[in-house]
Amino acid sequence: MDAVSKRIQLEQKIYEQVKRMYVMCRDIYDYAKVTGTLITIH
């Protein structure tokens, strides 16, 4: 395994983690938006 493919693998790993975090944050944001709306209505 040469240095270039090692770096590419690492970057893909980091990208996957960032993507997962982004999706999680988006879900939490959407959930907060929905519950916030419900709280505002009541």
- Interacting residues of 30 by C-beta distance below 8 A, sequence separation 6+: none
According to the model, what pLDDT value does residue 39 have?
72
- Which of the 8 DSSP states describes residue 2? -
Q: With the C-alpha atoms ordered 35, 36, 37, 40, is the resulting torsion angle positive or negative?
A: positive
Q: Mean pLDDT, to the nearest integer, of 4-27? A: 97
**Mind listing the pLDDT tens digit for each residue in 24-33?**
999 999 999 8
In the block, which residue shows the tokens 């395994």?
Answer: 1
Tokens describing residue 1: 């395994």
pLDDT-based confidence at 42, cuts 50/70/90? low
pTM value? 0.61
Map out the domains of the chain as residue ranges.
Answer: 12-42
